[in-house]
């Protein structure tokens, strides 16, 4: 892919700076350890370390700029090709109110959201972004109170318009519990394997059986197998919310990892989840055919 070439070259150049900086710092440290008793050599060692550090800093700065450029200029174009009316905004994210609308993610003390994508798949509108939720913890130490934050959700959050009319709400959760005032009750579906993998909560049993068709359950099980992390699905107010807690960000470029067609393909694969689900929902007029 020619369009990738400039980013590959710039990324590689930035990484070279970092790669050079590391051994130079080690050399500087060795000079100080081995010969550092003499002032002149000590200064030489410090200077060598400083040069190494500068190289790493410059490399990191350049790398950050390459990634920013890649996300700002390259990714929106390819996402437009993959997704109908696809729009990608790297520095923007889903609003907290949308994330908590799933009613199974508890309120966070610190909320982060970025890498926002929206568009249509098979005519169904969707939006998604990376989401990180943190909870505040405090401990008492001899120096006073220490505050730190612990991640309890890091992953992707999707919102899709659901084209079925239904009453109440249904949640299919791998590890979470409903965080809602609705009268959720645990529902057991006919699939033993499904019940083992997910806990289903619904405000009415009929709605749970209506939404979770055998095909839908099968699809959810497949998703669970193919996606690392914990999945949560919520069907509320004609919307479907999907949260994947996998300690992973999508559309991320990593230092010293290839920036090539295979990476772009893996990004595309991240959207296949949506594609599969949307197709399943779109085909809901036929899904009862082969029960």
Partner 1 sequence: MDNPIVIIALVLVGLILIVGLWYIATMNTLRQLEVKVGEADSGIDVALTKRFDALSKLVNTTKGYAKHEASIFENVTKWRKGLPDSLSMEQKQEFLGKMNEVQSGINVAVENYPDLKADKVFINLQNSINEVEAHLQAARRLYNSNVSTLNQKIVTFPISFVAGNINMAKKAFFEADVAKRQDVDVAF
Closest distance of CB 188 from partner 1, Å: 7
Residues in the site for partner 1, rule: CB under 8 A? Answer: 164-165, 188-190, 205-206, 209-210, 213-214, 284-291
Closest distance of CB 290 from partner 1, Å: 7
3-state helix, strand, coil in the chain (%, to 5): 45, 25, 25
Closest distance of CB 136 from partner 1, Å: 43
Read off the tokens for 73.
Answer: 């200029």
Instruction: Indicate the residue among 63 and 201 with the shorter CB distance to partner 1.
Output: 201
Closest distance of CB 151 from partner 1, Å: 37
Say how many Å lie between the first and final Cα of the chain, rounded.
Answer: 44
Spatial neighbors of 204 by CB under 8 A, at least 6 apart, are: 167, 168
Tell me 6's DSSP state.
Answer: H
Closest distance of CB 16 from partner 1, Å: 58
Instruction: Indicate the residue among 142 and 286 with the shorter CB distance to partner 1.
Output: 286
Instruction: Indicate the residue among 114 and 161 with the shorter CB distance to partner 1.
Output: 161
Instruction: Indicate the residue among 153 and 201 with the shorter CB distance to partner 1.
Output: 201
Instruction: Indicate the residue among 60 and 284 with the shorter CB distance to partner 1.
Output: 284
- Hey, which residues does 89 pair with through a beta bridge? 116
Half-sphere exposure of 201 (CA within 13 A, CB side): 21
Q: Identify the helix (H) or strand (E) that includes residue 12.
A: helix 5-35
Instruction: Indicate the residue among 164 and 257 with the shorter CB distance to partner 1.
Output: 164
Closest distance of CB 101 from partner 1, Å: 24
- The C-alpha atoms of residue 152 and residue 137 are separated, in whole angstroms, by 12
Read off the tokens for 234.
Answer: 């919520």
- State phi, psi for 269 to the nearest 5 degrees: -60, -30
Spatial neighbors of 187 by CB under 8 A, at least 6 apart, are: 170, 200, 201, 202, 205, 208
Read off the tokens for 149.
Answer: 């934050």
Vertex 131: Cα angle to 195 and 114 (nearest 5): 150
Closest distance of CB 84 from partner 1, Å: 22
Instruction: Indicate the residue among 60 and 213 with the shorter CB distance to partner 1.
Output: 213
């Amino acid at each position: 892919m020619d369009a990738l070439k400039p980013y590959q070259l710039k990324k590689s150049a930035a990484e070279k700076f970092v790669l050079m900086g590391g051994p130079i710092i080690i050399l500087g440290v060795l000079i100080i350890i081995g010969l550092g008793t003499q002032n002149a050599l000590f200064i030489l060692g410090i200077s060598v370390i400083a040069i190494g550090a500068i190289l790493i800093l410059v490399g990191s700065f350049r790398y950050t700029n390459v990634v920013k450029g890649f996300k700002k200029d390259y990714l929106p174009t390819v996402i437009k090709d993959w997704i109908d009316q696809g729009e990608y905004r790297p520095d923007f994210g889903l609003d907290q109110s949308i994330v908590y609308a799933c009613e199974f993610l508890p309120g966070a003390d610190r909320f982060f959201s970025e890498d926002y994508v929206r568009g249509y798949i098979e005519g169904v509108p969707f939006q998604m972004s990376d989401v990180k939720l943190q909870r505040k913890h405090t401990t008492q130490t001899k120096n006073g109170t220490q505050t730190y934050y612990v991640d309890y959700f890091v992953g992707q959050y999707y919102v899709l318009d659901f084209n079925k009319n239904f009453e109440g709400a249904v949640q299919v959760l791998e590890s979470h519990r409903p965080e809602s005032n609705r009268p959720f009750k645990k529902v057991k579906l006919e699939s033993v394997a499904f019940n083992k993998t997910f806990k289903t909560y619904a405000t009415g049993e009929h709605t749970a059986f209506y939404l979770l068709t055998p095909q839908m359950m099968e699809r959810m099980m497949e998703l669970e197998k193919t996606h690392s992390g914990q999945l949560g699905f919520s069907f509320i107010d004609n919307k479907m919310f999907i949260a994947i807690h996998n300690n992973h960000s999508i559309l991320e470029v990593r230092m010293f990892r290839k920036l090539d067609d295979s990476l772009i393909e893996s990004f595309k694969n991240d959207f296949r989840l949506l594609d599969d689900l949307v197709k399943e929902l779109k085909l809901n007029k036929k899904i009862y055919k082969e029960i």
